[in-house]
Amino acid sequence: MALYSEKVMDHFRNPRNVGVIEDADGVGEVGNEKCGDIMKIYLKIEGGIIEDVKFETFGCASAVASSSMATELIKGKPVAEALELTNKAVAEALDGLPAYKMHCSVLAEEAIKNALEDYYKKHPEAK
Ligand code: FES
């Protein structure tokens, strides 16, 4: 069996939603101390809906694929749904990650949660 699923390879080679949102409503950044990989997520939120999301990931193939898939999973969704996104759901949507690469998907979950925390900090009225 190949180490990575076709979906992982696809999202790694053609990552969706790469970039920066200049006037983002929430920005989240996380890193993994062990591997040194960093992920940053930008959210544009309008009326409780994630209107746009972009990411910058300085990391391994699984981290890039996880960020790409995670942004696809939350785009157009209510904030409440994005808050519930787990790294497991991201990995499942990618048709799985090797066990020792699961921590890469955790970065995506954490970066989104951080960005939403930042959003609530900047927009306390949205709580
Ligand atoms: Fe660091 Fe994948 S090895 S996030």
Distance 111 CA to ligand 1 centre (A): 14
Enter the pTM of the model. 0.96
Domains, in order of start, for the chain: 6-120 (3.90.1010.10)
Catalytic, out of 30, 41, 65, 104: 104
Q: For position 1, what pLDDT does the model report?
A: 55
For 110, half-sphere exposure in the C-beta direction (CA atoms, 13 angstrom radius) is 15
Q: For position 126, what pLDDT does the model report?
A: 84
Q: For position 102, what pLDDT does the model report?
A: 96
The preferred substitution site among 3, 11, 29, 32 for testing ligand 1, maximizing ligand atoms within 8 Å of CB, is 32
Q: For position 125, what pLDDT does the model report?
A: 87
For the CA of 61, the closest atom of ligand 1 is 2
User: Which residues fall within 8 angstroms of residue 25, CB to CB, at 6 or more apart?
Assistant: 43, 44, 45, 119, 122, 123
Q: How confident is the chain (127 residues) per 10-residue block, as mean pLDDT?
A: 90 98 98 96 97 97 98 98 98 97 97 98 88
